[in-house]
Structure 1
Amino acid sequence: MELGGRTFNLTLGRPVQFPLFTSTSDRVAASGEIVAVGEDLHSLPPIHTVLKSSENKTGQVPVHLRALLTEIGTLQLWCVSETDNDQWRLEFELRGSAASARETVVESMPPRFSEARTSIERIFGGQPTHGTPVTTEVKQLWRGLEQTLGPREQWRAPLLRELWGALFAGARRRRRSPDHERIWFQLTGYTLRPGFGYPLDEWRAEQTAKIFASGVNAHKEKRVWTEFWIMWRRIAGGLDDACQHEIWNYLRPHLERRLNPSTSRNIAKPKGIQPESLDEMVRLAVSLEHLGPDEKSQLGDWIAPYASTPGPWAWAIGRLGARVLMYGSAHRTVDPEKAASWLEVLFDAHQRKVEGALFGIVQAARLSGDRSRDLDESMRIRALDILGEAEAPESWRHLLTNIVAMEDADKARAFGDTLPLGLAA
């Protein structure tokens, strides 16, 4: 709904505040009507934000409002420039810890954003809200989006989350074909990665988590399974404890049967559809940082025998044995003795020149400053010697000698994926 009858001046480039109110009154106000603040209006936490234009302009710009009720029942409020193609969506952070006002940054959407959204709506949805699609062919959707919005590596977090909204509105229609399902999983995981760090990500991850139980429709297509697991790994950081355990409870019998040689012959094949893409199942499982130490230890012991062979194994052992988790609580780390045993495995894997082993050593031997988590100094010294001989980056060695944060490139390596620009993860 375009509320074009009234123009406002929007301040760019410096902090602003938007007061919000709610009402339980029976009175019905027309769209665009000015209502006096009285006893029937109750204040909500205001939006504190900084609005940026696509050309980094400052000052004031005339805008009108656009309101949109989405298919998933959420209200979007946009400020649309009267002078150019800029438009800003106001983020309503009214869930969880939203009561504490904090400043966010709202960036203008790219000029051709409406075309990109319309393409998604045409492929995965019903009737597009407005705009002209850049493509109506699902296999060409990635290419069409990049032609419209620029290279995907340059898509910033605000844009990614807006694309997620259009995708999730069409979640039910992802089953139109194997290609629809595969591309939907790809795009949804990419636009919501790493599942946290942007306003309302907790809610977005919660909504996405509801589709896990429905699984893969094109279950005979390995490529679809691969993208299914990658999507959950990408957003794992935003999934709560219950959802991560739901995923683990599904994966566990399949992983045990396929990875644990001591019991695989005695374990019956789980009933129902058999998932494919073992490597991605493993990468997802080790990314579930809300699992308890015992569960992680069990999984790591299944994986460790494979660590000296090509595949996800060395990276996976490093992620499981990490002394500092990427998003999980410190009490979810495995005990130092277990991590030390896996570190020996990683030493051997590195000698065999297995990809991922050296960074796995960094994660398992990293200094946290917590005696209950850190390895013996002798183990860290051995790890440092190996890093020195391998001429590893100085930032890696620094993690073993100082209590410091990971650099962004190393965070991406630990997550197993790139992180969006403009994200506070």
Structure 2
Amino acid sequence: MPDPTDSPIDASPDSDEMVAPRYCIGIDLGTTNCVLSFVDTHAETRRVEVFAVPQWVDLDTLESRTTLPSFHYTLTEPEMSAAMTAKANRKLARYLVEPPGERVGEYARVAGSAHPGRLIASAKSWLSHEGVDRSTDLLPWHGDADVVKKSPMAASAAYLAHLRLAWDDAHPDWPMADQDVVITLPASFDEVARELTVAAAAHAGLPRIQLIEEPQAAFYAWLDRHADDWTERVRVGQLILVCDIGGGTTDLTLIRVRPATAKTASGHDGADVEVDGAALQFHRIAVGKHLILGGDNLDLAIAKSAEAQLDAPLPARRWQQLVAGARGVKELMLSPGRPSETTIHLSGEGSSLIGGSVSLTVTAEQVDQVLLDGFFPDVALDATVIGGQSGFQELGLPYAADPAITKHLAEFLRTHRETGLDDETVDSRRVDLVLFNGGVLRSTAIQDRLIACLTRWFGDDDPQWKPETLQSPRLDLAVSQGAAYYALVRRGEGVRIAANLARTYFMQISQSPARAVCMIPADAQPGQTYRIDSLPMELRIGVPVSFPLWVSSTRLADPPGEVVDIDPAEMTALPPIHTALQDRKRKKETTLQIVIETQLTEIGTIGVYCVAAPNDPSGKPSAVNSEPPTTGRGSRGRWKLDFDIRATLETDREAHEGGGEASGIVDEETLESCEREIESVFVHANEKPAKLVKRLQSTLELRRDDWPPVLLRGIWECLIRVEPHRRRSPAHESRWLNLLGYSLRPGYGVAVDDWRTAQTWRTLFGKIAHDDPQTRAETMVLWRRIAGGLTEGQQAQLASVLKRSLTYGGLRSESAEAFEAWRLAGSLERLPIQDKLDLARAALTQLERKKARPLYPALLWAIGRMATRIPSYGPLNLVIGTRDVSNILKRLVDSPALRVRSDDESESGHASQIHAAASLALTQISRRCHDRFRDIDDADRSRVLRELQTLDAPSHFLRLVEEGGQFDHEEQAAIFGESLPLGIELR
């Protein structure tokens, strides 16, 4: 990820060496639409204008429009042929950035309604989705098999690249990359989403940009529209609410009106503000939590209401078409002059297109009921937001569980009722002025409902009072216009909003008790740096360390260096920061004293730096750039630490919650005793390898299953140190491999497990010393145990090796090696769907062979993992589709494995194993997840329930298939293949 501090944004207009760019450009990189506005500073009268963006509106038709819909579409083969004919006219297509076969904008939006599996939508929401690897190619979600997927960052970059190429074509002497460019983002975006936005811009050919939060940009647009009279519309002490409800998010911001001050950035306020003689000044004092709750949710709700007219739920693909149709209904019904009703037409599937077509009528009254009562209910100021999981699972995004936007607004205003009351001239505790923004708020009915709620919440003392609405003629253009105006403000023109950070950042320093130190205060200003030297740290060279980070939008008074208790009700975990240090001069293990420096960069991202303490006697450190998961950079004892994006999905989401690490604290003496036992086997060869686990259990006075994760990771470190001695004999290597995998299982759950897993991979893959069946089997056990920490590429390499032996019968059915090979294959949840299908079909073929009976439990276990509806750790976009799963279920139920009986007493134990494995596999494949893209159909479900009853499966399994729910701890252990470390659960 690019370091924003490496590329200065400003070419200062006061510089004698550089000429200021001609254009100030503002880009609204929206969930539903992108807009580009600009100010020509060479014009006689400087004003904000909207750039009409040329784009395809049909395969052979170009038009220029004020908005570029934020949709990316992959053409079908017939569309591709027609598009290539159109592109033969280079005059039409000379500036378009899309590669052949791809379109963004209006045509993508329209064509995607008919072919939703080829459409990327809501990329901006995915950019802020902390539950997936946002740098991975995963869109379109549930896309067609022949569509090349893109990451959320790459999709965002495609929209920016189209805007840049279109601008450059219209302004060849003033390319966009050389202008002052400001890109907007939600105020509630986390730090990873902010940095990914910067990366998307760089990928689109815009290496130097400035970021601004959308609610601020909307308010700047209002200031620009009222340049002549804004001082007459506001007064000191007032509180302004900016309520921005766009396609993907609800963004809430509070701005205080304060007396103008002569203080500069060096003063307490940190606000370098000039108001052209006016006696007022605007201070952004609070921002709301990140809520993926906006127009997309309204689309889903309208679609659900329309679907209720049918006798049965629509299949997944037709549901996507209905959602796309509901989007059009929402836009129509939220516009002035709307009709009393409209119709959504769904074409039929298969050969009976006419017979299978559906028309659904949606009335204006129905839309009002769904949207107003569902999303904007009339609630009290003390209304509580409901937690949990959203009912909409099909689109893969973590939508807010409680759709009532008025509840979220009430909670926000309650939380910040006292915020900013640190000036004797400011005493208003109610919202005086409201600025609405975002496409959803084009509806006057929704605006009226919000104003009515605010009036009731704050108007008790004055029955005639209600907040004043600051009007905006085009809510869909205001953010872009305000961003362009802000680019002008940065040159010293116009009115600046004094925007403090409005959130406080903390670094966790202890687990028990959970405490953190404030590293960036809420009143931080861009460019300010903080040095946290009250708590010097000692780090071991060459050992990975983790810095868990937290952010709070309610603890706004903590100063830098203040140590506080971690309260999850007030603080939210961020992706952690990892690093590993080494001393260039000294190879031996040593320690380094460091302090932490932090910075709010000029473009609005967070910088965290590790700095060698001035009196540290050891040599100057350097970041280990090649050591995953860090990419730290720096010189002279100071380097930047990067957020570990992948950790938001894998390792340290659990570590933040303390699940793995809180299960036991281990002292150095205990670890030293373990190290002595390990060295006695591998270094000194005083003990037999087979006795090592028993000796460790005796030394620790703990059964192996009770070893806490922190102890296990300590044992892993000891084993890595003696790694060269595993080569003593096959017995030594087998025991070393077995204990190494056991100590690192399941590959995540403790801070820096990504690094440990990467170290294990580099040490072992393709480097086994003794090529015998037992060692090969133990190698497979190790990779299965830590599969959750392996990357897609690493799993693909393992699968490539496995396919040769499993699909071509290279292993004997009765061998331990074959048994473990199938279990390893089933644990690789990051494989592409086609690879999973190939392996599942090979396993089913083996399952149909009575001679493979010794392998039945492993085969069933593997099939259950490969075809599961809810992966243990893998991404949902790699779940096998329902059509293929239906075929898998049919073959599985008809296989000889499910007909094994226990009449023969000598075989009864093995038969019970097979029945238990079959029950678990069927339950994993059929568990209801309330996502129509993953749930099996009713006929398959009924068949599975009958089979589970025949197998005498636990009643809990039947409930999971019928109703959904979670596996308990013992069932999770069965899915994992053995016991899980204390405190770590499969997700």
TM-score, length-normalised on structure 1?
0.71
Matched, 1:160 2:718: no
Partner of 2:773: 222
- Decide whether aligned partners of structure 1 residues 50 and 148 sit closer, same or farther in structure 2, where only a CA change above 3 A counts: farther
Q: Aligned pair in 2 of structure 1 residues 11, 400: CA closer, same or farther (>3 Å)?
A: closer
User: CA separation in 2, counterparts of 1:71 and 1:423?
Assistant: 35
Alignment of 1:201 with 2:753, yes or no, is: yes
**By how many angstroms is 1:307 displaced?**
1.9
Query: Which amino acid is the alignment partner of residue 394 of structure 1?
Result: S
Closer/same/farther in 2, CA of residues 343 and 371 from structure 1, 3 Å limit: same
Per-residue CA shift, 1:63-85, capped at 9, x if unaligned? Answer: xxxxx9999969699xxxxxxxx
8 Å CA contact 1:259–1:302 kept in 2: the answer is no
Tell me the amino acid that sits aligned with residue 16 of structure 1. Answer: R
Residue 121 (str. 1) matches residue 646 (str. 2): no
Letter in 2 for 1:281: A
State the Cα distance separating 1:16 from its structure 2 match: 2.4
CA contact (8 A) 2:517 2:564 kept: no
The answer (yes or no) to whether the contact 1:395–1:407 under 8 Å persists in 2 is no
- What is the CA–CA distance in structure 1 between the aligned matches of 2:592 and 2:841, rounded to whole Å? 47
Picking from 823, 846, 857, the partner of 1:283 is 823
Structure 2 partner of 1:185: 737
Contact 1:195 1:236 in 2 (8 A): yes
8 Å CA contact 1:13, 1:50 repeated in 2: no
CA shift, 1:405, in A, is 2.2
**Residue type of the partner of 2:892?**
L
Give the direction of change, closer, same or farther, for the CA distance of 1:50–1:394 in structure 2 (3 Å limit): farther
Task: Report if aligned partners of 1:293, 1:332 keep a CA contact under 8 Å in 2.
Answer: yes
1:298 is matched with 838
How far apart are 1:201 and its partner, in Å? Answer: 1.2
In structure 1, distance between residues paired with 2:972 and 2:592: 32
State the Cα distance separating 1:364 from its structure 2 match: 1.2
Could you say which structure has the larger radius of gyration? 2
Instruction: Show the 5 A alignment for 1:132-147.
Output: 136-147=687-698
Asked if 1:17 is matched to 2:516, the reply is yes
Distance 1:164 1:50, change over 3 A: farther
Q: 2:737 touches 2:779 (CA, 8 Å); kept in 1?
A: yes
Instruction: For 2:949 and 2:985, locate their aligned partners in 1 and report how far apart those are by CA, in whole Å.
Output: 32
Partner of 2:871: 325
Alpha-carbon shift at residue 239 of structure 1 (Å): 0.4
Kept in 1: contact 2:969–2:985 (CA 8 A): no
Aligned residue in 2 for 1:347: 893
- The 2-side partners of 1:102 and 1:326 are apart by 19
**Equivalent pair of 1:368/1:403 in contact (CA under 8 Å):** yes
Amino acid at match of 1:141: L
Query: What pairs with 1:245-394 in structure 2 (closer than 5 Å)?
Result: 245-258=796-809, 277-308=817-848, 309-311=853-855, 312-348=858-894, 349-353=897-901, 355=914, 356-394=917-955
| Distance in 1, Cα, partners of 2:744 & 2:824 | 15
Aligned partner of 1:165: which letter? E
User: Counterpart of 1:277 in 2: which secondary structure?
Assistant: helix
Q: Does 1:231 align with 2:789?
A: no
Change (3 A) 1:212 1:173: same
CA 1:297–1:50: 2 relative to 1, 3 Å: farther
Structure 2, unpaired ranges of 5+: 1-508, 520-531, 536-545, 551-562, 566-581, 594-628, 631-640, 902-910
Distance 1:195 1:73 in 2: 25
Other-structure match for 1:54 = none
- Shift in Å at residue 152 of structure 1? 0.3
**Counterpart in the other structure of 2:191:** none
The answer to whether the 8 Å contact 1:318/1:363 transfers is yes
Other-structure match for 1:96: 644
SS of residue in 2 equivalent to 1:210: helix
Corresponding residue to 1:399 among 960, 966, 977: 960
- For 1:73 and 1:341, the matched residues in 2 are separated by 56
Preserved contact between residue 548 and residue 656 of structure 2 (Cα < 8 Å):
no
Q: Cα RMSD between the aligned structures?
A: 3.8
The one-letter amino acid of 2:666's match is M
Q: Residues of 2 paired with 1:258 and 1:72: CA distance?
A: 48
Please say if residues 50 and 103 of structure 1, whose CA atoms lie closer than 8 Å, have aligned partners that are also in contact: no
Q: Which one-letter code corresponds to 2:679 in the other structure?
A: E
* Cα offsets for 1:207-228 (capped at 9, x unmatched): 1111343342211x21111111
- How far the C-alpha of 1:351 sits from its partner, in A, is 2.9
The structural deviation recorded for 1:376 is 0.8
Alpha-carbon distance in 1 for matches of 2:867, 2:590: 40
Say whether the 8 Å CA contact 1:195–1:235 is kept in structure 2: yes
User: Are 2:977 and 1:416 equivalent residues in the alignment?
Assistant: yes
How many angstroms apart in 1 are the aligned matches of 2:801 and 2:784?
Answer: 14
Q: Assess if the C-alpha contact under 8 Å between 2:844 and 2:891 holds in 1.
A: yes
> How far apart in 2 are the matches of 1:188 and 1:393?
34
Q: Distance in 1 between matches of 2:934 and 2:795?
A: 23
Equivalent position SS for 1:339 = helix
Moved more, 107-116 or 374-383: 107-116
Are the aligned partners of 1:367 and 1:374 in contact in 2 as well (CA < 8 Å)?
A: yes
Alpha-carbon distance between aligned partners in 2 of 1:205 and 1:11, rounded to the nearest angstrom:
24
Q: Which amino acid aligns with 1:140?
A: K
State the number of aligned residues: 346
Distance 1:47 1:292 in 2: 33
Residue 11 (structure 1) shift = 8.9
What's the CA shift string for 1:7-31, capped at 9, x where partnerless? xxx99953223689xxxxxxxxxxx
Q: Deviations over 1:99-150 (max 9, x none)?
A: 9994534532266432112222344459xxxxxx9x6443321111111112
8 Å CA contact retained: 1:18, 1:47: no
Change (3 A) 1:299 1:412: same
Kindly indicate whether the alpha-carbon contact (under 8 Å) linking 2:747 and 2:786 is maintained by their aligned counterparts in 1. yes
Q: Aligned partner of 1:282: which letter?
A: W
> Are 1:367 and 1:399, in contact at CA under 8 Å, matched by a contact in 2?
yes
Q: What letter matches 2:720 in structure 1?
A: F
The alpha-carbon deviation at position 171 of structure 1 amounts to: 2.2
Distance in 2 between the 1:333 and 1:184 partners? 34
The answer to whether the 8 Å contact 1:12/1:50 transfers is: no
Which letter maps to 1:158?
Answer: V
- 1:312-345 per-residue CA deviation (whole Å, 9 max, x = no partner) reads 1122222211111111111111121222222123
Alpha-carbon separation, structure 1, partners of 2:786 and 2:862: 17
Moved more, 189-198 or 299-308: 299-308
Where 1:396 maps in the other structure, the secondary structure is helix
Per-residue deviation at 1:229? 0.7
Whose relative contact order is higher, 1 or 2, with alpha carbons under 8 Å and at least 6 apart? 1
Confirm or deny: 8 A CA contact 2:682 2:726 kept in the other structure: yes
Q: Distance in 1 between the 2:961 and 2:927 partners?
A: 5
The alignment-based identity, stated in percent, is 29
Tell me which residue corresponds to 2:277: none
- The answer to whether the 8 Å contact 1:321/1:333 transfers is yes
